[in-house]
A = this chain, B = another copy of it.
Amino acid sequence: MENHEPFLREAIALSKSSMEGGDEPFGSVLVKEGEILLRAENSVFTGHDMTNHAEMNLVKLAAQHYDAAFLGDCTLYTSTEPCAMCSGAIYWSGIGRMVFACSETRLGEIAGIGLNVPSRAVLQTGARNVTVVGPTNLEDEAAKVHQEFWPKHLGKV
């Protein structure tokens, strides 16, 4: 059976790195045939652009390196379910599959902010099929980084 854990753990590690670097805790990796090709972190604060989500950054990086046909056989692994913007970006990029650890609902319970459109609700409307897997058994591990970040960031502790 296919094992998503190493790639999701790498995405979660990137989410911690992003937080430690002064941004929001999200990370994503692009994988083809068991190999990590690209990595991206959230950079909304350090990049002065609130659309610099990890998945958006990864999709834009991927577009510089690969065409849509190549990306169709790639999987985007991400620490937390992509928002409507990032789900749309994944759709347009041609990436074939997306796997997330922590759900948007769980993130919302912790952070209490943001858009509330499940990634499947966006992706299922598309003219091409994007496989979606998640949340996974690593949800608690991915959520732990949010529990560390959001209460402080929102001034609630």
Binding site for B on A (CB under 8 A): 48-51, 53, 56, 59-60, 63-64, 68, 83-89, 91-94, 112-117, 121-122, 125-127
Contact = CB atoms under 8 A, between A and B. Distances in A.
Complex copy number for this chain = 2
B48 A63 contact: yes
Contacts of A88: 83-86, 88, 115, 117
Contacts of A122: 84, 115, 117
27 contacts: A48-B63, A48-B64, A49-B63, A50-B63, A50-B68, A51-B56, A51-B59, A51-B60, A51-B92, A51-B93, A53-B92, A83-B88, A84-B84, A84-B85, A84-B122, A85-B85, A85-B88, A85-B89, A88-B88, A88-B115, A88-B117, A114-B127, A115-B126, A116-B125, A116-B126, A117-B121, A117-B125
